[in-house]
Chain A
Amino acid sequence: MQTTAPERRQITAVSRPSDKAFQGVVTAGALSAFVVLALIAGFLFLRSTEVFRTFGFDFITRSKWDAGSVEDARAPQFGVAAMLLGSIIVSTMAMIFALPFVMGTSLFLEYYISRRIRFVLVSILDLMAAIPSIIYGLWGYLVLMPYASHWAASINKYLGWIPIFAVDRENFDASPFVASLVLCLMILPIASSVTREVYSRAPQDQITAAYALGASRWGAIRAVVLPFGLSGLVGGMLLGLGRALGETIAVLLTLNLVFAVKFQVLASAGGNVASLIASRFGEAGPLELKALMAAGLVLFVLTLLVNFGASIIVGRASRSTK
């Protein structure tokens, strides 16, 4: 009685041996990114276990960085709290400075000029993204710093009663303020290009509808483009934050590293994990080297998290528009 259902056939593709070999090689090669990431995390962890075992959680929460000395019978002590906090302060300030310029640049390029000029300006923007950080650092120290110190002094003069703008000593050189201005410049191209990309996909029919309702250009942008591009802006800024957190040489040249937790952004004292590694690396003994590896691991995890969040947000922003 039972009608036999047609038997499903499995389509099996037998690749040729040559294709199989090709696929194998390519797959192995493609997993290299995975391997490298795992190796970085593994090696840094392996080299820093001793530090973590010795100092435990203090490594994250203390800010004293002292290689110790045999003559004075001083025990070495390592903690990255000041540097970690400094990294976050400097990068956050860079983001705050960059935000209006990122929005201005991406809106200007997308909605205020003709297509032909846009192509030229976008190429220039890409080129600016390729300026190496050592040159940003050089320029930041020798050209920007005199100006920035002057600005910082004015801010301190008029707004010094706000705790973060206060200083203990009247020295405004190499402050977190200066370093974050340089970082702001460095993350502008990448953040702008991501944001512009998302803004450019704002639905044309809604923009047209806004215009047909009698909106001005800014009205159309505010009603349609800004809400639509919000996730792109957030993602772009986060990518910039990831860059800023990991930036070494430009910060090393423009920031005075001081091992103390401070919130005075105009004072000539700040912290930065990446710069710490570069500056202490040369004269580090075996234990300090391990502490630097541990600091590198902390930085690695931090930037990985930020970048991960950024790429998820940017990915969602670009997928929702397709």
Chain B
Amino acid sequence: MTSTTSLVTPRRPWVNRRNVYKELIPTFGIAGALAVLIVNFTGLAGPLGSYVAFVAAYLTVSFLFGMRHDKIKAFDKVMTTLICAGFFTAFIPWVSILFTVFKRGASAIYWGYFTSDMSVTSGDDELNLGGLSHAIVGSGIILLIASLIAIPFGIITAIYITEIRGRFSGLVRIMIQSMSGVPSIVAGLFVFAILVSGRGFSAISGAVALSILMLPTVARTAEEVLKLVPEDLRTSALALGATQTATTFRIVLPAARAGLVTASMLGMARVAGETAPLIMTSFYSANFSTDTSGHPLASLPMYIYQNFSNGTDLALSRAWGGAAVLLTLIFIIFTIARLASGRAKG
């Protein structure tokens, strides 16, 4: 209709970088200067003190800047600052945790750390002796057995809610919800009462305790995933004359495969670091072993706990080393879960 189209360029007048910077830079500058003054003249010190001083200064400065317009703007600015500060402050401890774990853990880690156990080394021996191969293998065994129990039950529970849609669906969902709130120590006590007392610590009992904690995570995530399978797929399969069994196994579960991997991985990540139930079920041994019953078995969280309880500097370094390994393991499991769910969506 008009030939001016090519001459007009889209713009976004409401995105006004220049104005934003014009406000932000002076606010930052003045707040920074104020913060330096505060740190120099009051008891606040160190990075944390400087941070607090800066937030307080920023709050004041942004309020005053806002007051140049009106009270509404000033209040909006103050709330923006508070909300952003709330978020960033929450991240400080997490950054500190990651930083400490990997920095202090690094001092304990050497090549042999992954190949030797603690059978001939004590917690306060030099850091170039001993390792946690026994704990890694033990954790792997316990996690594997726990997964073998919890994943099938978790998926079956999800199938019951989304496929069978039986009359207990509501009840089952409530039970899963309640189960996710069971304190880990209570799960440990329970397994101790039925499997350990009188028989002794074993990897199996540790795995059973972990599977109790793992089941709700797997079940709930799997339910979400199965719900994402389009209803049309089920109806068309049934209309083709497939039985419900065939529909579930041949159509629904394959369609949700990647999501079910995510559910399983999230379950494993949830329990890989559980310590409290292992204290009373699989306990700890310093020796490399793959025995699943009759003997205590080492695990990464118990390795950390044991070295922490020892309390000497060298043992604490070992604890940090174990924490670094455990955290890396959990992050790997978590990344696999995310990748799988990314594929499920894409």
B172 within 8 A of A: yes
B7 within 8 A of A: no
Interface 0/1 of B317-341, CB less than 8 Å to A: 0011001001100110010001000
CB–CB B153/A217 < 8 A: no
A248 cross-chain contacts in B, Cβ below 8 A: 183-185, 275-276
A268 within 8 A of B: no
Q: Tell me the bound Cα distance from A134 to B273 in angstroms.
A: 7
Within 8 A of B (CB), among A43-102: 43-44, 47, 100-101
A145 within 8 A of B: no
Within 8 A of A (CB), among B31-78: 48, 72-73, 75-76
Give B89's nearest chain A residue, CB to CB. Answer: A101
CB distance from A273 to the nearest CB of B (A): 8
Q: Tell me the bound Cα distance from A22 to B242 in angstroms.
A: 14
B297 within 8 A of A: no
Q: Which of B80, B176, B275, B331 contacts A217 (CB 8 A)?
A: B80
Q: Which of A36, A47, A126 contacts B193 (CB 8 A)?
A: A47
CB distance from B283 to the nearest CB of A (A): 9
Q: Tell me the bound Cα distance from A221 to B192 in angstroms.
A: 50
Interface 0/1 of B184-215, CB less than 8 Å to A: 11110110011001000000000000001001
Q: Which of B189, B243, B301, B305 contacts A292 (CB 8 A)?
A: B189
Q: Tell me the bound Cα distance from A15 to B244 in angstroms.
A: 9
Q: Tell me the bound Cα distance from A56 to B178 in angstroms.
A: 27
B110 within 8 A of A: no
A307 cross-chain contacts in B, Cβ below 8 A: 177-178, 180-181
Interface 0/1 of A243-256, CB less than 8 Å to B: 10111110011000
Give A33's nearest chain B residue, CB to CB. Answer: B175
A30-B160, A37-B179 as given contacts; A134 in contact with B305, CB under 8 Å: yes
B48 cross-chain contacts in A, Cβ below 8 A: 147
CB distance from B70 to the nearest CB of A (A): 10
CB–CB A40/B75 < 8 A: no
B316 cross-chain contacts in A, Cβ below 8 A: 142
- The secondary structure that dominates the A interface is helix
B168 cross-chain contacts in A, Cβ below 8 A: 27, 30-31
A43-B194, A133-B275 as given contacts; A112 in contact with B280, CB under 8 Å: no
Q: Tell me the bound Cα distance from A65 to B316 in angstroms.
A: 31
CB–CB B96/A143 < 8 A: yes
A265 within 8 A of B: no
Within 8 A of B (CB), among A194-243: 216-219, 221, 239, 242-243
Q: Tell me the bound Cα distance from A183 to B175 in angstroms.
A: 25
A144 within 8 A of B: yes
Q: Which of A141, A218, A278 contacts B276 (CB 8 A)?
A: A278
With most chain B CB atoms within 10 A of its CB, the pick from A44, A281, A289 is A281
A32-B157, A33-B176 as given contacts; A132 in contact with B301, CB under 8 Å: yes
B156 within 8 A of A: yes
Within 8 A of A (CB), among B149-187: 152-153, 156-157, 159-161, 163-164, 166, 168, 171-172, 174-187
CB distance from A284 to the nearest CB of B (A): 10
B132 within 8 A of A: no
Q: Which of B83, B160, B166, B276 contacts A112 (CB 8 A)?
A: B83
CB–CB B186/A296 < 8 A: yes
Q: Which of A4-12, A167-175, A297-305 contacts B (4 or more CB under 8 A)?
A: A297-305
A134 cross-chain contacts in B, Cβ below 8 A: 273, 275, 301, 304-305, 308, 323, 326
Q: Tell me the bound Cα distance from A306 to B308 in angstroms.
A: 32
The size class of the interface chain B forms with chain A is: 35 or more
Q: Tell me the bound Cα distance from A249 to B169 in angstroms.
A: 34
A188 within 8 A of B: yes
Q: Which of A29, A34, A131, A306 contacts B171 (CB 8 A)?
A: A34
Interface 0/1 of A96-120, CB less than 8 Å to B: 0000110111011100100000000
Residue count of chain A within 8 Å CB distance of chain B: 86
Q: Which of B73, B82, B164, B275 contacts A23 (CB 8 A)?
A: B164
Q: Tell me the bound Cα distance from A125 to B344 in angstroms.
A: 21
B279 within 8 A of A: yes
With most chain A CB atoms within 10 A of its CB, the pick from B181, B186, B244, B274 is B186
A26-B156, A132-B274 as given contacts; A278 in contact with B279, CB under 8 Å: yes
A139 within 8 A of B: yes
A130-B269, A249-B275, A278-B279 as given contacts; A29 in contact with B153, CB under 8 Å: yes
B330 cross-chain contacts in A, Cβ below 8 A: 130-132
Q: Tell me the bound Cα distance from A18 to B249 in angstroms.
A: 13
Give A281's nearest chain B residue, CB to CB. Answer: B280
Give B82's nearest chain A residue, CB to CB. Answer: A104
* Chain B interface residues (CB < 8 Å from chain A): 48, 72-73, 75-76, 79-80, 82-87, 89-90, 93-94, 96-97, 100-101, 152-153, 156-157, 159-161, 163-164, 166, 168, 171-172, 174-187, 189-190, 193-194, 197, 212, 215-216, 219, 243-245, 248, 269-270, 272-276, 279-280, 301, 304-305, 308, 316, 319-320, 323, 326-327, 330-331, 334, 338
Contacts A105-B90, A253-B308 aside, 9 further interface pairs with beta carbons under 8 A come to A26-B156, A33-B172, A34-B175, A104-B86, A108-B84, A143-B96, A248-B276, A277-B189, A308-B178
Pairs A–B under 8 Å by Cβ, sample size 11: A18-B243, A30-B159, A31-B168, A39-B190, A219-B76, A274-B276, A289-B197, A293-B193, A296-B189, A300-B183, A308-B177
